[in-house]
Structure 1
Amino acid sequence: MDGKNRQEIKSGMSVSVVQKQDQKTNKLTEGIVQDILTKSASHPHGIKVRLTSGIVGRVKKINN
Structure 2
Amino acid sequence: MKPLRKDISPGTAVRIVQKQDQRSGKLTEGIVADMLTKSPSHPHGIKVRLETGEVGRVQSII
Instruction: Using structure 2 for the length normalisation, give the TM-score.
Output: 0.95
**In 1, distance between residues paired with 2:19 and 2:42?**
15
Contact kept, 8 Å, 2:2 with 2:43, in 1: the verdict is no
Matched, 1:43 2:42: yes
The alignment-based identity, stated in percent, is 63
**In 1, distance between residues paired with 2:2 and 2:29?**
14
How many equivalent pairs are there? 62
Superposition deviation, residue 54 in structure 1: 0.1
**SS at 2:20's partner residue?**
helix
1:13-44 deviations in Å (ceiling 9; x for gaps): 10000000000011000000000000101001
**Correspondence list, 1:1-64, <5 A:** 2-3=2-3, 5-63=4-62
Any stretches of 5+ residues in structure 2 without a counterpart? Answer: none
Instruction: Using structure 1 for the length normalisation, give the TM-score.
Output: 0.92
**SS at 1:21's partner residue?**
helix
